[in-house]
C-alpha cells in the first residue's frame, strides 16, 4: 500500500510535467503560456508544502514561495493586459519585437 506522501510527490510531479507539456505544446497565446506556468508553480508549491510538513514546522518557507507565485501571477496578468492593449491580441505571431 502506498503512503500518502508518495502519492503527493507523484501527483505534484505529474502536475509539473503536465504544465511543462502544455507550455511547450500550446504556445500560440500568451494567456495559455501564463496559465501553464501558474499550473507548474502550483505543482511545485504542492510538492514543497507536502515535503515541508513531513520535515517539521518550516511551513513559513512555503508561504513565502506562495507569495512569490502570487506576485508572478500578478506581473504576468499586467503584462497580458499591456500586450492586449498595445497590440490588440495576445497571439505571439502578432507581436513584433522591433516595435517600441
Q: In whole angstroms, what separates CA 67 from the centre of its chain?
A: 13
Q: Structural domain tally of the chain?
A: 1
Task: Identify the bridge partners of residue 91 per DSSP, sorted by sequence position.
Answer: 29
Residue 99: inside a domain: no
Give the per-residue pLDDT at 78. 92
14 within a domain of the structure (yes/no): yes
Residue 77 belongs to some domain of the structure: yes
In which band, very low, low, confident or very high, does the pLDDT at 90 lie, cut at 50, 70 and 90?
Answer: confident
Inside any domain, residue 100? no
User: Could you tell me if residue 31 is inside a domain?
Assistant: yes
* Residues of the chain above pLDDT 90, percent: 15
A 10 A CB-CB count for 26 gives 12
Query: In the block, which residue shows the cell 491580441?
Result: 89
CATH of residue 24's domain is: 1.10.287.3510
Q: How far is 54 from 30, CA to CA, in rounded Å?
A: 36
For 21, the domain range is: 4-94
Mean pLDDT, all residues of the chain: 82
Amino acid at each position: 500500500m502506498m503512503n500518502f506522501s508518495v502519492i503527493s510527490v507523484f501527483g505534484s510531479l505529474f502536475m509539473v510535467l503536465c504544465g511543462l507539456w502544455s507550455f511547450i505544446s500550446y504556445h500560440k497565446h500568451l494567456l495559455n503560456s501564463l496559465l501553464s506556468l501558474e499550473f507548474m508553480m502550483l505543482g511545485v508549491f504542492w510538492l514543497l508544502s507536502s515535503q515541508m510538513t513531513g520535515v517539521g514546522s518550516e511551513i513559513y518557507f512555503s508561504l513565502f514561495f506562495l507569495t512569490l507565485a502570487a506576485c508572478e501571477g500578478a506581473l504576468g496578468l499586467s503584462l497580458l493586459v499591456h500586450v492586449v492593449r498595445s497590440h490588440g491580441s495576445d497571439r505571439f505571431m502578432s507581436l513584433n519585437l522591433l516595435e517600441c
